[in-house]
Amino acid sequence: MGSDLTENDWNFGGNPLEDKFKLAFENAPIGMCLLDITGYYVIVNHSFSRMIGYSPEELTHKTYADITHPDDLPKNRKWFKDILEGKKDHYKLQKRYVHKNGAIIWAEVLARLIQDENAHPLYFDIHVTDISLIKELDELIRFQARALSQVHDVVVAVDNHNQVIYWNKCAEELYGVKFQDALGKDLNDVHEYQWIHPEDEIDSQKSLDTTGTWRGENKHRTRQGKEFIVESALSVLTNEKNQKIGILSVVRDITSRKMMERELKKSEKNYRSLVELARTGVIFMDITGKMEYINPHFAHLLGFKLKKLRGTSFFDLLDSSQEQKAINYLKNVKDGFRGSVELGFTPRNKTPTWALISFNTVNDAHEEHVGYIGIVMDINSRKGVERSLMEAVQERDEILQFYINNLHGVIKQVFVKDLKDSNHLKTQLT
């Protein structure tokens, strides 16, 4: 327990200067207290009491060790011991106190030893500043810095003079320039950039001035001469007064993606040529049957021009007897059926046309059903052969039926004649 000295024991003999000192101590914005050489609190001011959550009286029954975070206690004890042994005349450190409610309070502590006229230690004069908010902000800044350093895109910030003030790890890797070499340099000295479309330079400045952001593509060149295409997202940096202090740029290397896009365009052109020149019909229609695309062969099959058919309904081209059959088939395809169907069309020349069609569903990026793509094969020739065969079979059946009917008559006559002859022979024998 500390020495029996409280605020009320401060008797300065009516000295106005010392009275002012007492008033300043009690109302100081920072925590102030006296510790005896055993570590007990002797007197504390209101700021320290509020900071730690204990009343001044409660604190006079505690040592500094009782309210210090366990992890900080070893270094605190060392500093305390060093001053008592004369190795130091003061110490200043950052430490954590444990509030009465269990919360952690970060503080900066300055301690000095008070001695008597014979240089014997009496008390420790302690000044305590709450830095919890500063620590939280510092931790937040460090977290943000770590996050930016680990992001897989280049993050660069420049001030109003285009000098680099931030350069993350990805920027180091992409441009081959270390943070310390880029910091403070003009961005144009770190790497070169070109506008893919000249008008983008003016548009970007207008967008930054009006909306504070811009997104687009550029060509960048490193100091080693390596070139690549990047996608850039720029944002205006402002201070607490909303004044512009620089530009933040998030850059992604899209060179590989651009090369793939070019190759895909080539492939798409080749595939389109194959579809356009295919000897089978190809159609794409939405879920209502509206035909968004048809190739020339399908139009030729029905005797229409391409422009005439595009945008029309698939069902309008069917023979009226085939419509329900087509609807049922498409429902089955949507439910997972994989197969084909024979459908009859009424083309421009009104001559019935038959086709074998195989449809598959088409889904968008969200796996929503948006339409059907179909392959159409002309089976008129096969249908013609089938009709000829059917006609031949029907003719054969008719001839056979004729022969059978005649044969029935002949057999009947022979049978009757044989029956008469048999009866005549029987009469003669008897």
C-beta atoms surrounding 310 within 10 Å = 15
Alpha carbon separation from 167 to 150, 176, 184, 227, 248 (Å, rounded) = 12, 12, 10, 19, 10
Confidence of residue 192 (pLDDT cuts 50, 70, 90): confident
Closest CA to 189 of 221, 155, 159, 157: 221
| CATH code 3.30.450.20 for 278-378 | yes
> 426 or 324: which carries more pLDDT confidence?
324
Answer for the pair 34, 125: CB distance below 8 angstroms, yes or no: yes
Structure tokens at 410: 């002949």
pLDDT tens across 245-266, in order?
999 999 999 888 888 777 767 7
Confidence of residue 407 (pLDDT cuts 50, 70, 90): low
Helix (H) or strand (E) holding 155: strand 154-159
Res. 312: pLDDT tops 50: yes
Token look-up 């209101």 returns 46
pLDDT tens across 324-346, in order?
999 999 999 999 998 899 999 98
Res. 275: pLDDT tops 80: no
pLDDT tens across 352-394, in order?
888 899 999 988 878 889 999 989 988 877 766 666 666 666 7
Q: Where are the domains of the chain?
A: 7-136, 152-255, 278-378
Res. 316: pLDDT tops 60: yes
pLDDT tens across 19-35, in order?
777 787 888 889 999 99
Long-range contacts from 278-282, C-beta under 8 angstroms, 24+ separation = 280/375, 280/376, 280/377, 280/378, 281/355, 281/374, 281/375, 281/376, 281/377, 281/378, 282/373, 282/374, 282/375, 282/376
Res. 307: pLDDT tops 50: yes
In one-letter notation, the amino acid at residue 289 is G
Q: Which CATH class is domain 152-255?
A: alpha beta
Alpha carbon separation from 285 to 148, 270, 391 (Å, rounded) = 47, 22, 37
Confidence of residue 2 (pLDDT cuts 50, 70, 90): low
Confidence of residue 12 (pLDDT cuts 50, 70, 90): very low
Closest CA to 3 of 26, 37, 33, 28: 37
Q: In this predicted structure, what is the pLDDT of residue 262?
A: 79
| CATH code 3.30.2090.10 for 7-136 | no
Do the domains spanning 152-255 and 278-378 agree at the CATH topology level? yes
Res. 6: pLDDT tops 80: no
C-beta atoms surrounding 294 within 10 Å = 25
Confidence of residue 414 (pLDDT cuts 50, 70, 90): low
